[in-house]
Amino acid sequence: MRAFLTAIGFLTILPAGRLAPRPGDFGRAAVFFPVLGLLVGAVLAAVQWCGLSLWDSYIAAALMLSIGLVITGGLHIDGLMDTADALFSRKSPERMLEIMRDSRSGALGVAAGICVMALKFAAYGYLEGPDDWRIVALSPVAGRTAIVAALALFPYAREAGAGALFAAETRPRHAFGALVLATVVSAALLGWPGLIVVASGLALAMLASVYLRSCLGGLTGDVYGAINEAVEVVALLAGALLAPLG
C-alpha cells in the first residue's frame, strides 16, 4: 500500500497522505504504475459513460480530456511540450536540457501538445460503443507501463530532477512486475487484442527512448511524460482497430 500511495502522490493530484520516502520506495512504487493507470482509466471511463448518457460523444470527449488533465495535474502533457521544444530546437544535448528546464512553452511545444490532445479528442469521440470503455481504461495502463520500462532500461540525463528519484531505484525486476500487472489488466479488459495494444505501446516507448537517449544522453522526467502521452494515443488508436477482433 505504501508503494501504491507513493505512486499516486507523484503522478496525480489525488490525496495520498504525506509519507516520508524510504530507500526502495520509488522502485517499488514503479511496479504499481499500471494499477495507477487503471485507476485513471476507470475515472475516464466513468466520465465517458456520464457524458454519453447526458449529451453526445463530442462533449464526452471534451470532458474526458479535461478530467484527465486535472487528475494528472497536466504533468505528462507538460513533459511532452517541453520535450518537443527541446527536440525541435536542434541544439546540443546540454542546450536541449536547458530548454526543457524552462517553465515557458515555445510555439512548437504548444503545437505538439495540441496535436496530441486533438488525437485523443478524436479517439475518445470515436470510441462510443458499449464496450469501448475498455479501450479508454486500458490506454493509461499502457502509458504508465511504458514509463516503468523507460525508467528501468535507460539512464537518467541529470543528477537531479522529478524523475531522478524513480530512475535511481527502478530496476528491470520492477519493470517485469509492472509488465505482469499490465498483462493481467489488458487481458481482462480486451483479451488478446489488449495484449497487442500494450505491446505496441511498449515498442513505441523503446524506440522513442533509444532516439531520445541519442539526442539528450539519457532520459528525463519530461521525456517520461512525453512517452506516456504518445503511448496513450497509440493505445487508443490500436485498441479502436483491434477491439472488434477480440
Mean pLDDT of all residues in 140-145: 98
pLDDT of residue 100: 94
- What's the pLDDT band for 103 if we cut at 50, 70, 90? confident
The lowest-confidence range among 44-48, 83-87, 103-107, 185-189 is: 103-107
Q: How high is the pLDDT of residue 105? A: 87
Work out the angle between the directed axes of helices 133-153 and 33-54 (0-180°, nearest 10). 160
**Does the structure show a pLDDT above 80 at 29?**
yes
pLDDT tens across 72-89, in order? Answer: 999 999 999 999 999 999
Question: What is the share, in percent, of the chain residues with pLDDT greater than 70?
Answer: 97
Please give the residue that has the higher pLDDT: either 17 or 148.
148
pLDDT surpasses 90 at 161: no
If you average pLDDT over residues 97-117, what whole number do you get?
94
Provide the sign of the torsion angle of the four alpha carbons 130, 131, 136, 137, taken in this order: positive
Most confident of 5-19, 96-110, 168-182: 168-182
Q: What is the pLDDT of residue 65?
A: 98
Rounded distance, CA 89 to CA 243, Å? 39
Burial class from Cβ neighbours inside 10 Å (0-12, 13-18, 19+) for residue 90 reads: exposed
Torsion sign across C-alpha atoms 191, 233, 237, 124 = positive
